[in-house]
């Protein structure tokens, strides 16, 4: 009978371990990604690579001393030339007028000053001074420029210039915040913390470890908790006009545990951190009946390629390595079955009920 030879072939095939294959867009099989054994050296290299990448992003975003606000196209300027209300249409009294009337007029002028809109070319039209290019200038620089122009026609002009409405620069914040939407950049530096506060703060479902900053074609991943642990003030992360900030939800930062574990499930990361040991523990551990401790896999999809890591949980120090190996969102943890469990399942598929019938027959008196 050829049945024992069939059993031996199945057992030999199962003992070789699982095989990972991938396909291209046309459906053709591609070479399987190489399996990387989880060792102390690999864990150290992963940590160093993560730190280098995080530090590069931080250096580009941190601005300890933000520059003052620069006027842009679309802003509305409030300009007052004291003792010359005819230039702005305001009601500013002369210096020899009644003090009470002077104070009242000044209050009215401050409450509703005449506005000058900066056009698409960054210019304003002002009486006597003509066209002035103020785009890119601070309030002080624009005031000095206007004063210099008016000095040709007025003796010692006293000019007040400020931005009445900030409309030229904006950032957009989306995701797990109370009030997502556009936020105008004004004279208060628009840091990441300032933008989140203006949006009403983070929701309880927000993942503080996964805040994405999109600036043009560049994407930055920001971990607020990691910044605090490094003694870096998150208020130094400066936003630029046109930035898009997305605060991800914790439900998006999941790790999937399947295979021969007691309770396969999807696990939510704890503020961006979950180790392989924690994932196995929260899933009840490796099944003592069918799990192969030699074949604990982590499958990770990266923009460049798919990576497969393997841990042999039987070797000395494997528990410490599993605790030090940090998972990433969307990782898949898979525990393979033992060769005996695979043989039993394949046999049951070929001959349904045959194994249980044989066991029952053997137990009969």
Using CA atoms, how far apart are residues 68 and 51, in angstroms rounded to an integer? Answer: 32
Using CA atoms, how far apart are residues 221 and 219, in angstroms rounded to an integer? Answer: 7
| H/E segment holding residue 121 | none
Average pLDDT over the chain, rounded to whole? 82
The token duo for 294 is 């030699």
Contact 72, 118 (CB under 8 A): yes
Sign of CA dihedral 179, 183, 189, 192: positive
pLDDT tens digits for 175-221? Answer: 999 999 999 999 999 999 999 999 999 999 999 888 999 998 888 88
HSE-CB at 98 with a 13 A cutoff on CA atoms is 4
Grade residue 19 by pLDDT with cuts at 50, 70 and 90.
low
Q: Which residues pair with 291 in a beta bridge?
A: 337
pLDDT tens digits for 115-151? Answer: 899 999 999 999 999 999 999 999 999 999 999 999 9
Burial of 246 (0-12, 13-18, 19+ CB in 10 A): middle
Contact 334, 259 (CB under 8 A): yes
Contact 36, 308 (CB under 8 A): yes
Contact 234, 197 (CB under 8 A): no
Question: Which pLDDT belongs to residue 352?
Answer: 64
Contact 309, 298 (CB under 8 A): yes
Contact 227, 268 (CB under 8 A): no
pLDDT tens digits for 286-327? Answer: 999 889 999 999 999 988 889 999 999 988 889 999 999 999
């Amino acid at each position: 009978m050829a049945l024992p030879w069939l059993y031996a072939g199945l057992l030999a095939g199962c003992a070789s371990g699982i095989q990972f294959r991938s396909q291209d867009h046309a459906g053709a099989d591609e070479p399987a990604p190489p399996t990387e054994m989880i060792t102390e050296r690999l864990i150290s290299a992963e940590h160093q690579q993560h730190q280098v990448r995080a530090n590069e992003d931080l250096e580009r975003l941190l601005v300890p001393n933000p520059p003052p606000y620069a006027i842009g196209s679309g802003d509305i300027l409030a300009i007052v030339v004291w003792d010359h209300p005819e230039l702005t249409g305001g009601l500013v009294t002369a210096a020899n007028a009644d003090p009470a009337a002077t104070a009242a007029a000044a209050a009215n002028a401050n409450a509703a000053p005449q506005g000058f809109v900066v056009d698409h070319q960054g210019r304003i039209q002002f009486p006597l001074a003509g066209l002035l290019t103020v785009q890119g200038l601070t309030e002080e620089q624009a005031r000095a420029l206007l004063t210099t122009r008016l000095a040709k026609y007025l003796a010692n002009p006293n000019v007040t210039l400020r931005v009445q409405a900030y409309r030229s620069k904006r950032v957009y914040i989306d995701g797990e915040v109370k009030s997502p939407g556009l936020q105008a950049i004004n004279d208060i530096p628009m840091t990441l913390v300032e933008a989140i506060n203006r949006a009403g703060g983070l929701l309880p479902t927000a993942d503080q470890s996964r805040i994405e900053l999109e600036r043009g074609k560049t994407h930055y991943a920001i971990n607020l908790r990691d910044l605090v642990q490094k003694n870096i003030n998150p208020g130094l992360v400066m936003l630029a006009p046109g930035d898009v900030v997305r605060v991800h939800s914790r439900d998006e930062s999941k790790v999937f545990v399947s295979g021969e574990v007691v309770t396969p499930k999807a696990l939510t990361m704890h503020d961006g951190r979950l180790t392989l040991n924690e994932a196995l523990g929260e899933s009840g551990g490796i099944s003592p009946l069918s799990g192969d401790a030699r074949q604990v896999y982590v499958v990770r999809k990266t923009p460049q390629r798919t990576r497969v890591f393997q841990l042999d949980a039987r070797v000395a120090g494997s528990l410490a390595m599993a605790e030090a190996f940090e998972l990433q969102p969307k990782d898949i943890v898979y525990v393979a079955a033992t060769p005996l469990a695979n043989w039993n399942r394949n046999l049951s598929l070929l001959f349904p009920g045959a194994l249980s019938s044989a066991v029952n027959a053997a137990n009969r008196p």
